[in-house]
């Protein structure tokens, strides 16, 4: 694998205002189209428990792994299914509407992107699909741990925070693939 930039260059690189606006616009587009899919019940996978959600997410990670192994590098369609599974859990276990949840996730996305300097996208640029799978597996591992213990060890991070992060990483991946 060859890289255009070394990691330190990626970290030091600033995201332009135009890039931030484009990313937020695409975030809105993704959120809208996914909510539309859910509203019309197209490919809507029911994930009502954390255990069921974890199991479905791991199935999709396996699909992405196999797709990558056979040279399919754009896994956006499979990643959209990951987002839908997470939204199904939110829909079944939260008093927020999907639109309210997306508004909150978008705000988290925007703030974390500012704090981290767009590091998730930079990591994707450096490490590609493996970088995305690594971050995704970290989040799924947290969900799996919760499913097994019924509590989070890090008390200030809630279960929904991990699910929101999973969705946001997935959307960042889709934004990255759209730009490629």
Boundaries of every domain in the chain: 16-179
Condensed to tens digits (0 to 9), the pLDDT of residues 26-46 reads 666 666 666 565 544 444 567
Condensed to tens digits (0 to 9), the pLDDT of residues 90-145 reads 988 899 888 888 889 888 888 888 888 777 777 888 888 888 888 899 999 889 88
Tokens 């975030």, located at residue: 27
16: enclosing H helix or E strand: none
| pLDDT of amino acid 165 | 92
Distance CA 42, CA 65 (A): 24
Condensed to tens digits (0 to 9), the pLDDT of residues 3-13 reads 455 555 544 56
**Average pLDDT estimate for 133-160:** 85
- Give the ranges where the chain is alpha helix by DSSP (H): 7-12, 17-39, 50-69, 76-93, 98-116, 119-149, 159-179
List Cβ neighbours of 14 (8 Å cut-off, separation of 6 or more).
117
Distance CA 12, CA 30 (A): 28
Annotate 100-111 with DSSP letters as a single string. HHHHHHHHHHHH
Q: What is the pTM of this model?
A: 0.78
Q: Is residue 175 a contact partner of residue 109, using CB atoms and an 8 Å limit? A: no
């Amino acid at each position: 694998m060859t890289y255009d930039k070394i990691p330190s260059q990626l970290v030091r690189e600033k995201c332009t205002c135009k890039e931030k606006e484009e990313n937020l616009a695409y975030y809105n587009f993704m959120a809208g189209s996914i909510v539309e899919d859910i509203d019309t019940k197209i490919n809507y996978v029911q994930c009502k428990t954390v255990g069921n959600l974890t199991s479905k997410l791991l199935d999709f990670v396996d699909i992405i792994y196999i797709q990558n192994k056979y040279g399919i590098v754009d896994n956006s369609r499979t990643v959209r299914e990951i987002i839908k599974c997470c939204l199904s859990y939110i829909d079944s276990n939260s008093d927020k509407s999907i639109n309210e949840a997306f508004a909150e996730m978008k705000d988290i996305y925007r703030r974390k992107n500012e704090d981290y300097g767009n590091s998730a996208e930079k990591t994707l640029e450096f490490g590609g699909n493996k970088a995305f799978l690594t971050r995704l597996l970290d989040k799924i591992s947290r969900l799996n741990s919760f499913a097994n213990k019924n509590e989070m060890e890090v008390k200030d991070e809630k279960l929904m925070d991990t699910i929101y992060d999973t969705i946001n990483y997935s959307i960042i991946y889709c934004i990255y693939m759209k730009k490629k």
